[in-house]
Amino acid sequence: MTQCERETGYANAKEQQNQAAASLCERIIRRRAGNTFQEKEFFLKGVRGMRIAFFGTKDYDRIWFEPLSKGEGPDPFVCDITFFEANLKPETAVLASGYDAVCAFVNSDLSRPVMEKLRELDVRLVLLRCAGYNNVDLEAAKECGITILRVPGYSPQAVAEHAMGLALMSVRRLHRAYTKVRINDFSLTGLLGRNFYQGTAGIVGTGKIGKAMVSICRGFGMEILAYDKYQDPALEGVVRYVELEELLRRSDLVSLHCPLFHETYHIINRDTIALMKDTAVLVNTSRGGLIDTEALLEALRAKKFAGVGLDVYEQETGMVYEDLSDDIITNETVPRLLAFPNVVITSHQGFFTREALQAIAQTTLANARVWEQGLPLENEVK
């Protein structure tokens, strides 16, 4: 029996339980004289709660979402959640049958085929427990009458701190130092690094995460250049907005914090890499598609960059959040990048702090609440 078949059976059992509970509630209501149809519907909904199918879940998702769904903790929302380990894609969308909404993550497939299947199943809400939505076919969602809600700002500091951690690890060779000491090699060979103090940081994208990174770089005593189509007045006197070309030429640290759109796809490519210092540090904690991997590999082979820190990378789908330690990795991107001693890679974990996970859970279920109550949808993606 496949995982999908097992989880389909589980979903059917849950549906039978809910139908039995609803039947019992209806019998109780019939004994109450004078109830209106609206009162009956309200009573039944209060007993059953909104039903949400969570896809691509791990143990840590349950830790933060389950208490809130049971009315516990800060800002709870009582609802019926089913956690599916299977990720959302055309083959697994059928698991959403009987649910009011689905909850998906950054690595879920929210393409047109999935949207059309959800419409068939009468699912009208997709809750993203993440900020990014480049994996969502927004046009298809609109045509199918499906609302998309996201978590725009769970913990900018979590991602920004991870970005600086990657920068430091790569430029100071901390990953190599850790490995050397564990085999009793206490020599300093291959560990020579560089200072960030009095250097120049280039922040590409000054949204909430970019602003948090600006604050961190200020603490390191760096001059800060920024590039963004929409300049933030709050950063006046803190950063100097410049064109991307100038930022790349002058920066000792380039940190990417912009979303992945058509115009930002491969914003770091052969031409823009050529503008950068040979001693620059490049960090990406946003989306893998911002960097042309082949161009990056060519630059690394030419001994460009003092360090590269990547929490995201092209073709990461199917790898991130999975334990592949006993498998053969057929995707060549990560092994090729890890062949370079100045490259550090993590598994899309910039968001992964207690504070961020709690904020994600609260905002996700708050989004479900306002949708159910017909209130203004501040976090809607159109």
Just list the catalytic residues: 287, 316, 348
Q: How many angstroms from the chain centroid is the CA of residue 207?
A: 15
Residues 111, 64 contacting (CB under 8 angstroms): no
Q: Which two tokens stand for residue 324?
A: 């592949």
Residues 136, 147 contacting (CB under 8 angstroms): no
CA-nearest of 187, 159, 193 to 174 is 193
Cα gap 205→69, rounded to integer Å: 35
Q: How many angstroms from the chain centroid is the CA of residue 298?
A: 28
Cα gap 293→370, rounded to integer Å: 41
Q: Which two tokens stand for residue 68?
A: 């809130």
86 Cβ neighbours under 8 A, 6+ residues apart: 3, 4, 7, 55, 56, 92, 95
Cα gap 323→373, rounded to integer Å: 39
Report the residue count for the chain: 382
Residues β-bridged to residue 83? 54
Q: In which order are the strands placed within the sheet that holds 281-284? A: 240-241, 223-227, 200-204, 253-256, 281-284, 307-310, 343-345
Distances (CA, A) of 298 to 187, 273, 331: 30, 10, 18
Residues 268, 290 contacting (CB under 8 angstroms): yes
Characterize 92-108 residue by residue with b for buried, 16 or more Cβ atoms within 10 angstroms of its Cβ, and e for exposed.
bbebbbbbbbbbbbbbb
CA-nearest of 225, 287, 229, 279 to 256 is 287
